[in-house]
Amino acid sequence: MRRIILSAAAALFGLAATTAWAGTVSHGLSAFGDLKYDADFTHFDYVNPEAPKGGTFSTLSRQAKTSFDSINPFIMEGEAPEGIGRREPGSLVYDSLMARAYDEPDAVYGQVAEKVELAEDRSWVIFHMRKEARWHDGTPITAHDVVFTHDIKMEKGHPRYALVMKDVIGVEALDDHTVRYSFNPKGALRDLALAVSTLPILSKAYYQEHDFTRVTLDPPLTSGPYTFGKIVPGQSITYDRVDDYWGKDLPVNVGRYNFDHIRIEYFRERAIALEAFLAGGYALREEFTSKMWATAYKGPAVEQGLIKRELTEDNRPAGAQAFYINTRRAKFADPRVRQALDLAFDYEWTNKAIFYGAYLRMGSVFDNSPMMATGKPEGKELALLEPFRDQLTDDIFGEAYKPPVNDGTGNNRANLREAAMLLREAGWSIKDGVLQNAAGEAMDIEFLAFGETFIRVVNPYIENLKRLGINAAARIVDSAQYQRRLEEFDFDITTRRYVMRQTPGIDQRNMWHSQAAATDGSFNIAGVSNPAVDAMIGNIISATTREDHIAAAKALDRLLMHGHYFVPQWYKGSHTLAYWDRFSRPAIKPKYARGILDLWWWDAEKSAAVDAARAAR
């Protein structure tokens, strides 16, 4: 890989300002230069700096997985458990150069890096690393580890990394504790410094002796607030707090990581997982099944108040949860076919009969945010779409997408008639009760799933599709096979939810860009490949103001929703939590996170009361 090598003296030239913007030295970064916390802040507002340490926290895996077989999340092979990668609250075992503040849309502050320097045009960034930063074996974390991390992931890591980091054109250790990233001047300059700042850092020394590409359950050398504890393949993983963690007194860490042990539990069936919770097998679960939330939380522990249930506000964009249609397959190439599939899904009946009215209908990939397209495009949004008018359908310039609506009775005939008309226009017709194309090929659709729970949603949808002459069926596979088939795009339709950042950027490239559509393992499972979509992603990435960013996001939303690459499902603007009353928490919840794993703490008095009440039954 080509490296850009600049002297430290040249790199430091002219950086004397005090804001987080171009050509500056700062304690933090954000997409548009705004930082809530000053350089001398001592802790985040949403923590309890006096929180006691101790106890064990156990919870059900939140990921759409029922098992794991590796603790290497950086390669395509294997399934890794929660707690290792970048998802909230960040990696428990790996440090990064900077850490997220979850009461700001996108700001990060120094962790391994004490300060950061950013070029005026954002074409490079320099991180000055803390000399006290240490791996768990006591050796220093150096700039050479950061360079190694980037190089090994680009060469041998998961393809998603190379896709997101393609505009990184050089990583150089200026000395043992100073590292410089150089970026393509025409690339995603607003986001790249933020993206590289939060990547887990790997040990160069460790991987010189161990195979980076190996699916493994052998704990590697790490540096974070926790280390690997007991690992029971496919069932649970425990992380043990490091008492002498080098970074425990950093402002980004004060009041956080309070449990001595964090255990993530895995179950193959949700019903069994709930039974284990009610019996005290683990302490907290976020419920994602509305029927269970409405009907299944019963028994003495609930009645006595030993188990608490609550809804906590979720201020993030709602996320794009949908039936994703694999448009790489010829039968789904025509958007009229995909729109017909949208019309065949009866959301109102599903929400009423199956979900107990718990959800709102997804109508945007940016629901619950100002980035959702509304009305007709105008102003900056319209200006971004105009160059592509000749390539786009008229509905793009009309009203924003609205999902089809039914009356909730299960009578979907009007929408099915419209769906049948669209299928005829697309060249499909009914012969002997079977929907066929001009070549006589039947329309067969397989819904890929990895558990029984979602089948109750899919089966009524399948019945509606059969009324259109479509031979539809559900296929359940194990978690490992499911993940493998998704990464190889070997499916017709499947359900997925993509969590959206408060400030979308290069992550959108992985979800919707044409290059991602052709990259195994990318998140673009629908196979979206559209020049206008690619351009809007570029506009999101290059926006220099929030106003421009929102306009570009609205334009992208409009293109995706009118493109019918997926059948929208549902969302709710809250976290549905149930937990045993053994814990306490800060008075303030972070706006953009659940704030549980790293902020709650073991309350010995509450826990003793729970134990006493259970013993007295």
Residue 422 confidence (pLDDT): 98
Decide: 24 and 118 in contact? Cβ < 8 Å: yes
Residue 187 confidence (pLDDT): 83
Residue 596 has pLDDT above 50, yes or no: yes
Distance CA 237, CA 568 (A): 34
312 domain-assigned: no
580 domain-assigned: no
Decide: 59 and 282 in contact? Cβ < 8 Å: yes
Characterize 301-317 residue by residue with b for buried, 16 or more Cβ atoms within 10 angstroms of its Cβ, and e for exposed. beeeebbeeeeeebbbb
What six digits make up the tokens of 291? 């029927």
Q: Are residues 192 and 325 in the same domain?
A: no
What six digits make up the tokens of 109? 């502050």
Residue 62 confidence (pLDDT): 82
Look up the CATH number of the domain holding residue 155: 3.40.190.10
Characterize 262-289 residue by residue with b for buried, 16 or more Cβ atoms within 10 angstroms of its Cβ, and e for exposed. bbbbbbeebeebbeebbebebbbbbbbb
82 domain-assigned: yes
Residue 64 confidence (pLDDT): 58
Residue 288 confidence (pLDDT): 87
| Three-class DSSP category at 239 | strand
103 domain-assigned: yes
Residue 263 confidence (pLDDT): 98
Note the residue count of the chain.
Answer: 617
472 domain-assigned: no
User: Which parts of 287-395 are beta strand (E)?
Assistant: 307-313, 320-325, 360-361
> What is the arithmetic mean of pLDDT over 242-253?
98
Say which residue the tokens 């974390």 belong to: 141
Beta bridge mates, 418: none
**Residue 23 pLDDT grade (very low, low, confident, very high; cuts 50, 70, 90):** low
Distance CA 613, CA 607 (A): 10
What six digits make up the tokens of 218? 């052998």
> What is the arithmetic mean of pLDDT over 339-352?
96
Residue 9 confidence (pLDDT): 30
Residue 99 confidence (pLDDT): 97
Residue 433 confidence (pLDDT): 94
Q: Are residues 340 and 205 in the same domain?
A: no
Distance CA 106, CA 209 (A): 36
30 domain-assigned: yes
Q: Are residues 190 and 326 in the same domain?
A: no
Measured at the alpha carbon of residue 341, what is the angle toward residues 335 and 347, in degrees to the nearest 5? 130
CA gyration radius for the chain?
25
Residue 22 confidence (pLDDT): 43
Q: Are residues 193 and 334 in the same domain?
A: no
Decide: 61 and 265 in contact? Cβ < 8 Å: yes
**Which is more confident, 23 or 410?**
410
Beta bridge mates, 128: 115, 178
Beta bridge mates, 286: 577
Residue 7 confidence (pLDDT): 31
Q: Are residues 362 and 501 in the same domain?
A: yes
Containing domain of residue 331, as a range? 321-406+478-571
Tell which of 163, 187, 209 closes a domain.
209
> What is the arithmetic mean of pLDDT over 505-521?
94
Residue 252 has pLDDT above 80, yes or no: yes
Q: Are residues 201 and 342 in the same domain?
A: no
Residue 359 has pLDDT above 80, yes or no: yes
What six digits make up the tokens of 442? 């039947």
Tell which of 209, 240, 258 closes a domain.
209
Percent of the chain with pLDDT over 70: 96
Residue 8 has pLDDT above 90, yes or no: no
> What is the arithmetic mean of pLDDT over 348-357?
92
**Residue 452 pLDDT grade (very low, low, confident, very high; cuts 50, 70, 90):** confident
Decide: 96 and 198 in contact? Cβ < 8 Å: yes
Q: Are residues 187 and 329 in the same domain?
A: no
Residue 606 confidence (pLDDT): 97
Look up the CATH number of the domain holding residue 384: 3.10.105.10
Give the list of residues 6+ apart from residue 380 with CB closer than 8 angstroms, or none. 547, 548, 551
Residue 2 has pLDDT above 70, yes or no: no
Distances (CA, A) of 138 to 46, 211, 244, 612: 31, 22, 10, 42
Nearest CA to 28 out of 212, 243, 197 is that of 197
CA torsion sign, 475 to 480 to 484 to 489?
A: positive
Residue 472 has pLDDT above 90, yes or no: yes
**Which is more confident, 14 or 486?**
486
Distance CA 73, CA 222 (A): 13
Tally of domains within the chain: 2
> What is the arithmetic mean of pLDDT over 233-239?
94
Could you tell me how many helices (H) and strands (E) the chain has, helices first? 19, 26
**Which is more confident, 586 or 5?**
586
What pLDDT, in 10s, does the model give residues 208-227? Answer: 999 999 999 999 999 999 99
> What is the arithmetic mean of pLDDT over 81-110?
94
Q: Are residues 25 and 161 in the same domain?
A: yes
513 domain-assigned: yes
Q: Are residues 205 and 329 in the same domain?
A: no
Strand 261-265 relative to strand 56-60, pairing: parallel
Decide: 306 and 614 in contact? Cβ < 8 Å: yes
Distances (CA, A) of 277 to 68, 210, 238, 240, 479: 20, 38, 17, 22, 22
Strand 113-118 relative to strand 24-26, pairing: antiparallel
Residue 15 has pLDDT above 60, yes or no: no
**Residue 535 pLDDT grade (very low, low, confident, very high; cuts 50, 70, 90):** very high
Q: Are residues 199 and 332 in the same domain?
A: no
Decide: 592 and 103 in contact? Cβ < 8 Å: yes
> What is the arithmetic mean of pLDDT over 336-346?
98
Tell me which of 314-323, 389-398, 451-460, 517-526 is least confident: 451-460
| Three-class DSSP category at 214 | coil
Measured at the alpha carbon of residue 343, what is the angle toward residues 340 and 349, in degrees to the nearest 5? 150
Decide: 439 and 429 in contact? Cβ < 8 Å: no
Distance CA 127, CA 590 (A): 27
AA identity, residue 243: D
Decide: 320 and 495 in contact? Cβ < 8 Å: no
> What is the arithmetic mean of pLDDT over 249-262?
98
User: For all residues of the chain together, what is the average pLDDT?
Assistant: 92
Residue 5 has pLDDT above 60, yes or no: no
Tell which of 209, 237, 258 closes a domain.
209
383 domain-assigned: yes
Percent of the chain with pLDDT over 90: 83
**Residue 454 pLDDT grade (very low, low, confident, very high; cuts 50, 70, 90):** confident
Give the list of residues 6+ apart from residue 182 with CB closer than 8 angstroms, or none. 4, 6, 123, 124, 168, 169, 170, 171, 172
- Cβ-in-10-Å burial (0-12, 13-18, 19+) of 50 comes to exposed
